[in-house]
Structure 1
Amino acid sequence: MTLPLAGVHIAVTRPPEQATKLNAAITAAGGAVISFPLLDIASLPDLTAFHAAITPLSQFDWAIFISSNAVHYGMPLLQQASLPASLKFAAIGPTTTSALHEYGVAQVLTPKDRFDSESLLALPELQQMQGERVLIVRGVGGREVLADTLKQRGAEVVFGECYRRINPQADAALLAQSHSAGQLQGVIITSSEALRFLLDLAAGSAWLQATTVFVNHDRIAEQAAAHGLSVASAGQPGDAAMLQLLTRHFTPAT
């Protein structure tokens, strides 16, 4: 029996420690993984601004976390500041919610289908925000739609930025060479930041234009398509959904 990804070489751009299960799944399906991390998470050398932003923590009605990294970097700092019992928690998606559970947070407001700022903002609990004070825990920079919309609804919003995203790659020579050798059939991108870093390295390159980019979110698919890339979207997070997408794409129709 031929494995569904036999002969397929896939570049995985997640940080290695976050790609273990996906890499194993691709390999088990017969594929070959090219590790090409486009995103690394680093702590901030100075957390003075973060501590100033969250002090006192009792001022906030909501703490919204935009990623599991925000949880892992931010929650220890919030716990040190003593979490008020009245603080309500929200997360951008189920992975972030699971990370909050690991820190003992039982109740987390989370979108049910699409996992992004727009879906979180559509929930009934975040409609009437007049007078509410919201802490958004995130990395340095990022999308502003969540904060802007909450402000329009009457909330006061404070950013607690507790980590930064960096691109560990100097160039995309590895991927270009793999493509030239016929050993690059796809690139997996699971964040807008990773897509931006890939475009910084290789925008306009013939090999990138000829390679399908596999993403987990329709918003990332829209961004990739806007740059003329061939893109396929799983439409949901998770390794199982990504493997299913790859299998469908590379299994010949019968």
Structure 2
Amino acid sequence: MRDISHQHGRVRPLAGASVIVTRPASSAAALRRKIIALGGTPIGLPGIGVRSAADPDAARRGLLASRASDFVVFTSPNAARYTFALMPQLHFARATRVCAVGPGSARALARHGVREVVYPAQRQDSEGLLALAPLARMRGRRVSLIGAPDGRDLLREELQRRGAKVELVHVYRRTAPRLNRRHFDALERAAAPLLTLLSSAEAIAHLRVVLPAALFARLIASAAIVSSARLAHAAQAAGWREMHIAGSASGADLCAAAVTALAQHRL
């Protein structure tokens, strides 16, 4: 087997590390590729399951209505994927501003022909999106928030506070992950050092419940790479003791923070 820990005679920065990927399996492929390119071994441990909308007809009605909105906000790449699975020919009005929480969602939209998407370049989350100039003055504006139920309510609450009329369109559902012996064995056998990538408080809560106690203890003994200070608090509450805050939830920023954390271990 080819040794992937070296490239052009140099040791790759994540060589020898097992990197726990807690994103849903359906949206983790690009992150896994980044980890492998850096010499690490990705270990899939999804903290969230993703399913189709509970009421597809209601979702389609909401999507049809969203075409006339002033702003349409996609809250995740999965929101884009499930939207166009429900309505492959969906088009928005020319005057509608399409927004996303980060470049991953923008890329998912581009694959379906939706371009000129507004998204934050730095902080890639609800706070980052709300800081953008186009969303500053929202009184009387109609906004369609496209995503899943039971997520953070910050976008809806803040946009309504700014005077927007917000409609929620639920095109998919987040559920507890369906982990099995394959996932448990992979975590149990993962070679140290372990780094766990975390970008969802909901994923932390699910893993705390679905993992056997001994395996959750092994997970929280790893270094947590978290996407924000908010996630650092959630990880600490769940039992992690070592945390490193990434620049954002993007795969590039999570991997960069993982490289920094591993380098500190090797000093």
* Same fold, judged at TM 0.5 (above): yes
State the SS of the aligned residue for 1:56: helix
Structure 2 counterpart of 1:69, one-letter code: N
Contact in 1 for aligned 2:125/2:248 (Cα 8 Å): no
Is 2:130 the partner of 1:118? no
Distance 1:250 1:70, change over 3 A: same
Which region of structure 1 is more displaced relative to structure 2, 61-70 or 163-172?
A: 163-172
Distance 1:195 1:53, change over 3 A: same
2:202 & 2:27 partners in 1: Cα distance?
A: 15
Percent sequence identity over matched residues? 30
Is 2:230 the partner of 1:227? no
State the SS of the aligned residue for 1:64: strand
Superposition TM-score, scaled by structure 2 size: 0.79
Runs (5+) with no aligned partner, structure 2:
1-9
Structure 2 counterpart of 1:9, one-letter code: S
Is 2:218 the partner of 1:207? yes
Q: Give how far 1:178 is off.
A: 3.5
2:67 & 2:203 partners in 1: Cα distance?
A: 35
Q: Give how far 1:29 is off.
A: 3.9
Is 2:178 the partner of 1:168? yes
Runs (5+) with no aligned partner, structure 1:
none
Pick aligned residue for 2:103 from 75, 94, 102 = 94
Which string of whole-angstrom CA distances, capped at 9 and with x for unpartnered residues, describes residues 178-214 of structure 1?
37xx646222223333223222335975323322122
Q: Give how far 1:175 is off.
A: 6.4
State the SS of the aligned residue for 2:94: coil
2:164 matched to which residue of 1?
A: 155
2:130 & 2:253 partners in 1: Cα distance?
A: 24
Is 2:251 the partner of 1:239? yes
| 1:1-254 matched pairs, under 5 angstroms | 2-44=11-53, 46-75=55-84, 77=86, 80=89, 82-166=91-175, 167-169=177-179, 173-174=184-185, 177-178=188-189, 183=192, 185-202=194-211, 205-229=216-240, 230-251=242-263
1:208 & 1:49 partners in 2: Cα distance?
A: 39
1:69 & 1:109 partners in 2: Cα distance?
A: 17
2:66 & 2:261 partners in 1: Cα distance?
A: 48
Distance 1:54 1:214, change over 3 A: same
Distance 1:29 1:156, change over 3 A: closer
Which string of whole-angstrom CA distances, capped at 9 and with x for unpartnered residues, describes residues 155-179 of structure 1?
1111110011231226874466337
1:82 & 1:224 partners in 2: Cα distance?
A: 40
Distance 1:2 1:46, change over 3 A: same
